[in-house]
């Protein structure tokens, strides 16, 4: 008597599970990199908006400010100090107003909030007097994010070892 049941064998099921596991192992790290790059791009957009707001403030008042409330911009998050706002993924900080005797200069820093939790430690600095953004990576995972956003590594011989610098 013939058995005409349509069913999968145990080997077929194991092979299917193995293939799905391999695909997931390849896809998940790429997914997490893409998510981190989008978060970093969002931070970069916010940094540029803060830079424009500070430049507008300079045109109106003649000098930069490090107080977010003085700027014509709204950043969602919790204000930790007059110059510091903590968002979902990054904390934004305005510092070094007129540093080193340079007039109308400032830095805007975005630091990753859960840097130690996911080992992707990086932050972005805008230096007005240098005229560009710089991404500083402190881990291999952060290097991938910085490379994806800026595209080029900077030579920074006077900075601490283990840090990688990327600029635009």
Structural domain count, the chain: 1
* 33 domain residue, yes or no: yes
Enclosing H/E stretch for 28: helix 10-61
* pLDDT 10s digits, 135-145: 777 777 677 77
At 118 the pLDDT is: 47
Measured CA to CA in angstroms, residue 46 lies from 35, 109, 150 at distances of 17, 11, 16
Q: How far apart, in whole angstroms, are the C-alpha atoms of residue 85 and residue 71?
A: 13
* 153 domain residue, yes or no: yes
Please count the CA atoms within 13 angstroms of the CA of 101 that sit on its side-chain side.
0
Cα torsion 71, 99, 124, 56: sign: positive
* 3 domain residue, yes or no: no
* 4 domain residue, yes or no: no
Residue 120 has pLDDT above 80, yes or no: no
Q: Say if CB 162 and CB 57 are below 8 A apart.
A: no
* 5 domain residue, yes or no: no
| Paired strand residues for 1 | none
* 27 domain residue, yes or no: yes
Per-residue pLDDT, averaged over 35-58, amounts to 86
| Paired strand residues for 167 | 134
Three-state DSSP class for 56?
helix
Q: Say if CB 92 and CB 50 are below 8 A apart.
A: yes
In the predicted model, what is the mean pLDDT of the chain? 79
At 119 the pLDDT is: 45
CATH number at 67 reads 3.30.700
* 89 domain residue, yes or no: yes
Q: Which domain holds residue 110?
A: 10-167
| pTM of structure | 0.72
Q: How far apart, in whole angstroms, are the C-alpha atoms of residue 158 and residue 168?
A: 19
* 102 domain residue, yes or no: yes
* pLDDT 10s digits, 75-87: 889 999 999 999 8
At 161 the pLDDT is: 61
């Amino acid at each position: 008597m013939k058995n005409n049941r349509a069913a999968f064998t145990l080997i077929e099921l194991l092979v299917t599970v193995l293939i799905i596991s391999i695909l997931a192992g390849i896809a998940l790290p790429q997914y997490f990199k893409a998510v981190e790059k989008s978060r970093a791009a969002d931070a970069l957009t916010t940094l540029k908006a803060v830079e424009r707001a500070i430049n507008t403030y300079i045109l109106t008042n003649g000098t930069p400010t490090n107080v977010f409330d003085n700027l014509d911009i709204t950043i969602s998050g919790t204000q930790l100090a007059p110059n510091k706002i903590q968002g979902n993924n990054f904390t934004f900080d305005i510092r070094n107003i007129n540093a080193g005797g340079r007039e109308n200069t400032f830095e805007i820093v975005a630091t990753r909030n859960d840097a130690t939790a996911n080992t992707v430690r990086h932050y972005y600095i805008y230096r007005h007097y240098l005229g560009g953004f710089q991404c500083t990576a402190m881990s291999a995972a952060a290097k991938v994010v910085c490379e994806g956003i800026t595209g080029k590594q900077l030579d920074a011989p006077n900075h601490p070892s283990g840090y990688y610098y990327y600029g635009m």
